[in-house]
């Protein structure tokens, strides 16, 4: 205690001896050193603070460290490809046919036409997660503590409060109930048709995509595996293909399963017995990152986050169309679903939604 007081007194004496110009010089030097460790994130401060509170972190430095650790762990892209820097005028090169296809090069067309674009969060750019069909021209968009039902013009028709539950993935079951996966909380919640919210299953892994199966079962992907999840427990599915990080897992009308391997840069096609029958990877550079998948009945629609594109492939993994979303909406796409009206809905970061017609 005495040593600390002596040090303080010495510091005060030194400060009294400094001239005014010396004080300004030291102040400038201190400000310059401080600016080297300061990052200006501009208008994204609200999303930054919301994510910090969501992860229960106390300081900005802790959040920055968490994001950097995530970047290195999952090898997220730290630089956009040069082909995206000049805007939407450039055409995406046609992907080469893979060994699982017919062997003939497929003609790549746009496949989609923009119908409308809107934000479900108004002027605020806040975090949203999860998108699923809710009717002919209605969709449910999940977010922090709520699920909004919106029409194709962006009008919110209903808001459902989740009482502190975070929504990363959302899917509608055959009985009209909603299943909500939380990557942070590691659980799946169920919302009945009457609006009652309950915990469907607590997990030991962070759930990715969800797909309802028969008899109250869900097909859930997490990390590099697939699981059959019920209220009674979790059963692993043995895969015949290496998957680094499963992000989504839809099932088409034929019973085929598509697995989005975000870190592996590919989409794996499995049959109804989970046997590998084909893969789709349009580039060899590793910039392809399938974030979300859906099925239009027989084919699969892929949301590629890195290149901001929407791909359509058949059940053998052959590309049918590629559409670039650059210019349609701000941000990168991370969730896609098909509505009964044959419209493709794409959710972008910040709560922006684009509705497309198939052509």
Predicted pLDDT of residue 81: 42
The whole-model pTM stands at 0.67
Question: For residue 188, what are its two tokens?
Answer: 């799946």
Q: Which class for 352: exposed (0-12), middle (13-18), buried (19 or more C-beta within 10 A)? A: buried
Decide: residue 209, CB within 10 A, 0-12 exposed, 13-18 middle, 19+ buried. buried
| Residue ranges covered by each domain of the chain | 104-358
Q: Answer yes or no: are the C-beta atoms of 277 and 270 closer than 8 Å.
A: yes
Strand, helix or coil for residue 293: strand
Q: In this predicted structure, what is the pLDDT of residue 258?
A: 92
Residue with tokens 């048709």: 193
Using an 8 Å Cβ cutoff, are 81 and 295 in contact?
no
> Domain spanning 104-358 has what CATH number?
2.120.10.30
pLDDT tens for each residue of the chain, 359 residues long: 556 666 565 555 555 577 888 888 888 887 777 777 788 888 788 888 888 877 777 888 888 887 776 665 444 444 444 433 333 333 334 333 333 333 333 333 457 888 888 887 765 555 567 888 887 788 888 877 778 888 888 888 888 877 666 677 888 887 788 888 887 788 888 888 888 888 899 988 888 888 888 778 899 988 778 899 998 889 888 877 788 888 889 998 888 999 998 888 889 999 888 888 889 988 655 588 898 999 988 899 999 988 888 999 998 888 888 888 877 877 788 889 988 777 899 988 877 888 998 87
The rounded radius of gyration (Å) of the Cα atoms in the chain is 24
């Amino acid at each position: 205690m005495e040593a600390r007081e002596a040090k303080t007194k010495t510091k005060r004496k030194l400060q009294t001896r400094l001239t005014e110009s010396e004080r300004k010089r030291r102040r400038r030097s201190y400000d310059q050193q401080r600016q080297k460790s300061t990052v200006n994130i501009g208008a994204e401060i609200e999303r930054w603070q919301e994510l910090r509170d969501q992860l229960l972190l106390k300081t900005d430095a802790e959040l920055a460290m968490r994001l950097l650790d995530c970047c290195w762990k999952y090898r997220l892209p730290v630089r956009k490809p040069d082909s995206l820097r000049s805007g939407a005028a450039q055409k995406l090169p046609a992907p080469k046919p893979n060994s699982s296809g017919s062997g003939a090069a497929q003609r790549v067309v746009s496949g989609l036409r923009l119908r409308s674009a809107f934000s479900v969060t108004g002027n605020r750019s806040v975090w949203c997660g999860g998108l699923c069909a809710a009717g002919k021209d209605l969709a449910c968009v999940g977010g922090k503590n709520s699920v909004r039902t919106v029409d194709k013009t962006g009008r919110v028709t209903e808001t459902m409060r989740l009482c502190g539950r975070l929504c990363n993935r959302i899917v509608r079951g055959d009985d009209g109930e909603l299943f909500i996966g939380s990557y942070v909380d590691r659980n799946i919640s169920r919302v009945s048709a009457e609006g009652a919210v309950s915990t469907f299953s607590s997990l030991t892994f962070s759930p990715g995509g969800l797909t309802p199966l028969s008899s109250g079962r869900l097909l859930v992907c997490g990390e590099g595996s697939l699981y059959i999840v019920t209220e009674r427990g979790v059963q692993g599915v043995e895969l015949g293909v290496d998957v680094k990080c499963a992000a989504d897992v839809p099932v088409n009308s034929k019973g085929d399963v598509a697995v989005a391997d975000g870190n592996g840069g590919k989409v794996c096609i499995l049959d109804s017995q989970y046997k590998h029958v084909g893969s789709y990877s349009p580039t060899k550079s590793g910039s392809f990152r399938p974030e979300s998948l859906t099925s239009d009945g027989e084919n699969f629609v892929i949301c590629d986050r890195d290149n901001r594109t929407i791909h359509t492939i058949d059940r053998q993994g052959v590309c049918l169309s590629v559409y670039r979303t650059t210019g349609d909406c701000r941000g990168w796409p991370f969730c896609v679903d098909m509505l009964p009206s044959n419209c493709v809905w794409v959710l972008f970061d910040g709560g922006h939604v684009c509705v497309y017609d198939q052509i």
